[in-house]
Chain A
Amino acid sequence: MIEPNRKGEIWVFAEQEDGALCDVSLELCGKARELADELKVPMAAVLPGWNVRELSYRLIALGADKVYYVHDTRLEHYRTLPYSRVMCELIAKHKPQIVLYGATPLGRDLAPRIASEMRAGLTADCTDLSIGDYTESKTKKVHKDLLLQIRPAFGGNIIATIINHDRWPQMATVREGVMCMGDGDPRRSGEIIEEKIEFSDFDLAVKLIERHREERKINLKAARTIVAGGAGVANKENFQLIHDLAGAIGGAVGASRAAVDGGWIGKEHQVGQTGTTVRPALYIACGISGAVQHRAGMEESAKIIAINWDKEAPIFSVAHFGIVGDLQTVIPMMIKAIRERA
């Protein structure tokens, strides 16, 4: 554990696999940049790996002032213990005030190990982060400018705001796709700092014997938001609108069977009785009539927005928000509204 350190940097653990940064790390850079600007401290990314120095430039473009790069053959493929050693050593050395990780399988394996060794707090699966004050209920002591870690809890039935005011760094994992990924500015400049870390025999004792990766398939079930298009989208070119809205929100793309049959998108995106059953936090149905076979796959979604120009369309019977109108004008308005608030 480190003492609260108001001058400490805001860090993002830069997760990469086979030389590619994962999306959530890039999304986190934008958020960390915001937090760093608010607290007026530098933002840094920590990048362990082997021969991945050039990834630093992407992290800098997305907001990092510094990249701590740890280059070591033993870090080529992720293993818990050496990666944990890297993070613990660097945290002890540089004393960041906040460390963020993607809530990926890797991040959820690594971050708790680090939190335990550092005896620091960790909040899992945050959907939002901000800076705010906290008053201790007993002593009325006020702690200013803490990281407010917002997450769904209790099977998604409540939203809890968690803080950690004494045992720093303040750490959180953040779900993929809930923060927007910025475009980045390739002209931003930043510093790449190479760090050397010593490993013990224990750190290296677990061996990776075999490793198998599948083509990244879309995982509709895990998506927090889904934007789905149906026959009302009318053609493949227009289907780009659905991708654009999903991109703006950070959601996945779904489809009705009519859209899949039209060849506008792959079968693995189909929602419904013969497709995937989903229950995201938000489902946006665009130009989908809401046939019973489609509804069966999405009506459990926590919130549903339906966009359809036919006010009698059955999709409105399961929707929480209904927009009767032409999707070709409504979707661009939504994209604009989302961009404006960011």
Chain B
Amino acid sequence: MGYHCIVCVKQVPDTARVTGETMKADGTVNRAALPAIFNPEDLHALEAALEVRDQYGGTITAITMGPLGATKVLRECLFRGADRAIIINDRRAAASDTLATSYILSRAVQKIGDFDFVFCGRQAIDGDTAQVGPQLAEKLGLPQVTYYERMVDLNERTARMRRNVGNGWEVLEAKLPVLVTVLDTANEPRPAGARKMMQFKKALTAQELEREVAADMKDATDEQRTEELARRIETLRMNRLLIDQWDLDDVDGDLQWCGLAGSPTKVHRVQSIVLTKDGFKAIEPTEAGVRGMIHELIVDHTLG
């Protein structure tokens, strides 16, 4: 028995850490200067899955889509008890909006196959859209339970879950499989386990291993390197330390629904908010003074 859970996680720039130092001279954000972190609500999604497994048994597969550096969040999942980790990494997936992202994730979830729950964080802090969860549910043909707070009852193929709807809560009953988006008030994510950290800090994808081999064996022939790579991949696989790496072909992704082509929304213009804490402006207590200030606030979108 037990339940098979898939958890979708994302690596995001820590937008809460935008300070004077992370701003460029022109007032725009220097994204590279922001630390890359585990999207906060995705940790709660992982915890929700771990709670299901703690109580009923089963497996947890963590997936992420992103650059290879995002395997860091997958290792974080392994440190906390995930059984398997998969990264979807493909240049052709770049510039995907939420719709294209959910399509690609749906292909990966379908490739994994046998599952009972898909857990996502409610939203990611770099976009705050909360759209990928519901869109992924639709693409998979699953019912969705958003704003999950806790499992009320899980009985064979039927789950009762409590969700927080802002001005109250409700309990929904859904048949499995179901997609759930998790709030940060749902649980207290457990810390990484010390033993698991020792064990999984070496978990890598094949491509990361290839880079490692290239660095370690600068003077070797291609043949020797290929051989060494195959050996290391096999060692990792045997120790269950190999992070699966899939591209769009592996998940049978139809390119017309991926990346820029698959994204109906396009960015037309971006304005940076210039952080000017020291900028103080005295406004005359006159109609003209007040009108000028209101105008300024409308132009910079402070007032809608």
Chain A positions within 8 Å of B304 at CB level: 127-128, 175, 177-179, 224, 250
Docked CA distance A336–B298 (Å): 14
Within 8 A of A (CB), among B151-187: 160, 164-175
Given contacts A162-B266, A179-B304, whether A337 and B287 have CB atoms under 8 Å apart is: yes
Query: A210 on the interface (CB 8 Å rule)?
Result: yes
Query: B293 on the interface (CB 8 Å rule)?
Result: yes
Given contacts A115-B135, A158-B28, A330-B285, whether A302 and B302 have CB atoms under 8 Å apart is: yes
Q: Is A117 touching B138 in the complex (CB atoms < 8 A)? A: yes
Count, chain A residues at interface, CB 8 A: 90
Query: B234 on the interface (CB 8 Å rule)?
Result: no
Contact of A337 among B16, B290, B301 (CB under 8 A): B290
Chain A positions within 8 Å of B89 at CB level: none
Query: A123 on the interface (CB 8 Å rule)?
Result: yes
Within 8 A of B (CB), among A126-182: 127-128, 134, 148-150, 152-167, 175, 177-179
Q: Is B97 touching A154 in the complex (CB atoms < 8 A)? A: no
Given contacts A154-B126, A162-B267, whether A210 and B285 have CB atoms under 8 Å apart is: no
- Most A-side CB within 10 Å, residue of B130, B133, B137: B130
Docked CA distance A214–B168 (Å): 5
Query: B102 on the interface (CB 8 Å rule)?
Result: yes
Q: Is B173 touching A164 in the complex (CB atoms < 8 A)? A: no
Docked CA distance A127–B303 (Å): 8
Q: Is A165 touching B266 in the complex (CB atoms < 8 A)? A: yes
Chain B positions within 8 Å of A41 at CB level: none
Q: Is A320 touching B143 in the complex (CB atoms < 8 A)? A: no
Query: B202 on the interface (CB 8 Å rule)?
Result: no
A to B contact number (C-beta, < 8 Å): 236
Docked CA distance A208–B168 (Å): 14
Chain A positions within 8 Å of B264 at CB level: 1, 119-121, 164, 166-167
Within 8 A of A (CB), among B260-304: 263-273, 276, 279-287, 289-291, 293-295, 297-298, 301-304
Q: Is A112 touching B98 in the complex (CB atoms < 8 A)? A: yes
Query: A313 on the interface (CB 8 Å rule)?
Result: no
Q: Residue on A with the closest CB to B286?
A: A333
Query: A275 on the interface (CB 8 Å rule)?
Result: no
Q: Is A213 touching B143 in the complex (CB atoms < 8 A)? A: no
Query: B127 on the interface (CB 8 Å rule)?
Result: yes
Docked CA distance A162–B267 (Å): 5
Contact of A128 among B134, B279, B301 (CB under 8 A): B301
Chain B positions within 8 Å of A124 at CB level: 127-131
Docked CA distance A163–B270 (Å): 12
Query: A92 on the interface (CB 8 Å rule)?
Result: no
Query: B144 on the interface (CB 8 Å rule)?
Result: yes
Contact of B303 among A80, A167, A175, A225 (CB under 8 A): A225
Contact of A164 among B145, B168, B266 (CB under 8 A): B266
Query: A237 on the interface (CB 8 Å rule)?
Result: no
Q: Is B290 touching A323 in the complex (CB atoms < 8 A)? A: yes
Q: Is A323 touching B170 in the complex (CB atoms < 8 A)? A: no
Query: A329 on the interface (CB 8 Å rule)?
Result: yes
- Most A-side CB within 10 Å, residue of B165, B268, B283, B284: B268
Q: Is B126 touching A155 in the complex (CB atoms < 8 A)? A: yes
Docked CA distance A120–B145 (Å): 22
Q: Is A113 touching B279 in the complex (CB atoms < 8 A)? A: no
Contact of B289 among A157, A175, A323 (CB under 8 A): A323
CB of B261, distance to nearest CB on chain A (Å):
11
Q: Is B301 touching A116 in the complex (CB atoms < 8 A)? A: no
Q: Is B15 touching A155 in the complex (CB atoms < 8 A)? A: yes
Chain A positions within 8 Å of B166 at CB level: 104-105
Q: Is A109 touching B134 in the complex (CB atoms < 8 A)? A: yes
Query: A265 on the interface (CB 8 Å rule)?
Result: no
Given contacts A128-B304, A161-B270, whether A119 and B99 have CB atoms under 8 Å apart is: yes
- Most A-side CB within 10 Å, residue of B133, B135, B272: B135
Not counting A104-B166, A113-B135, A163-B266, a sample of 8 additional A-B residue pairs whose C-beta atoms are within 8 angstroms of each other reads A113-B134, A179-B304, A206-B143, A321-B281, A333-B285, A337-B287, A340-B291, A341-B295
A-B contact pairs, 18 of them (CB 8 A): A106-B165, A112-B131, A116-B99, A116-B138, A120-B264, A124-B131, A154-B31, A163-B265, A177-B304, A202-B143, A209-B171, A214-B167, A320-B279, A323-B290, A329-B285, A334-B294, A337-B295, A338-B303
Give the top 10 A-B pairs by smallest Cβ distance, nearest first: A155-B15, A325-B285, A178-B304, A121-B264, A116-B138, A213-B168, A167-B264, A124-B129, A116-B135, A112-B131
